[in-house]
Amino acid sequence: MISRPFSLGHGDVDGGGERGEELPAAPNEGAIAALVRDLLVELGEDPTRDGLLDTPVRMARSLVFLTSGYGKTLNGVVNRALYAEPYDDLVLVRDIEFYSLCEHHVLPFFGRVHIAYRPNGVVVGLSKLPRIVEMFARRLQVQERLTREVAEAVQEATSARGVGVVIEAEHLCMAMRGVRKPGSTTVTTTLLGDLDGDPVRRAEFLALVRPGGNERR
């Protein structure tokens, strides 16, 4: 177990009651619901008809959940699940499902994240990697930034020798509007440390996560 304190993210504790000073204020669901009601009117709808009566409140709750990553910090998410371990080969977690919202259209983009890191004497509890993904995916995002933020968070949390993150995603703002290209996949990659600088490690990682490679769900 690591005793080294580390200070990451925007505060010292996770969301959910004990927020650090620098975390954004908890969203006001009532205020959001009122805005949604106005939005429905602007769109030509009648928010008093049966089917829409509870929509503002439901949509407000949904939006608050889908952006709940703003209320998380890396310290809170990792929650000290760091363990001294001499293992120094690649640790790879493939196919972490995620759902996010593009910050340009507030439409979903979603897919899979593959995370690898080379420990430097410290391993992180494997269940923490999907939680790190969620912390950043549940915000308004662009895929490129999401990829980098996840990689840098894993690097910071573990002080790894190297970190690699690949995200494969489909963007509904491309499928439902704009160029209307359903089924296309966008792939982004961030490589840090020796997964970037060491050609052998880099090739090993990229072969393991090659889109279309290995067994796919």
104 is catalytic: yes
142 belongs to the binding site for Zn ion (CB under 5 A) = no
Beta bridge partners of 118: 162
Q: Binding segment for Zn ion among 12-20, 103-111, 125-133, 162-170 (CB under 5 A)?
A: 103-111
**H or E stretch including 134?**
helix 128-137
173 is catalytic: yes
Distances (CA, A) of 52 to 36, 46, 95: 11, 8, 36
105 belongs to the binding site for Zn ion (CB under 5 A) = yes
173 belongs to the binding site for Zn ion (CB under 5 A) = yes
In contact, 40 and 56? CB cutoff 8 Å: yes
101 belongs to the binding site for Zn ion (CB under 5 A) = no
Considering the candidates 18, 22, 97, 103, report the single residue annotated as catalytic.
103
Q: Least CB distance from residue 102 to Zn ion, whole Å?
A: 3
| Token digits of residue 97 | 């499902």
Of 138 and 201, which CB lies nearer to Zn ion in the complex structure?
138
Q: Least CB distance from residue 70 to Zn ion, whole Å?
A: 19
In contact, 90 and 118? CB cutoff 8 Å: yes
3-state SS, 137-149, equals HCCEECHHHHHHH
In contact, 112 and 93? CB cutoff 8 Å: no
Q: Binding segment for Zn ion among 45-53, 90-98, 100-108, 200-208 (CB under 5 A)?
A: 100-108
Q: Binding segment for Zn ion among 28-36, 125-133, 172-180, 190-198 (CB under 5 A)?
A: 172-180
Residue nearest to Zn ion (CB): 173
141 is catalytic: no
User: Measured at the alpha carbon of residue 15, what is the angle toward residues 25 and 149, in degrees to the nearest 5?
Assistant: 95
Q: Least CB distance from residue 109 to Zn ion, whole Å?
A: 7
Interacting residues toward Zn ion by CB under 5 A? 102, 104-105, 173
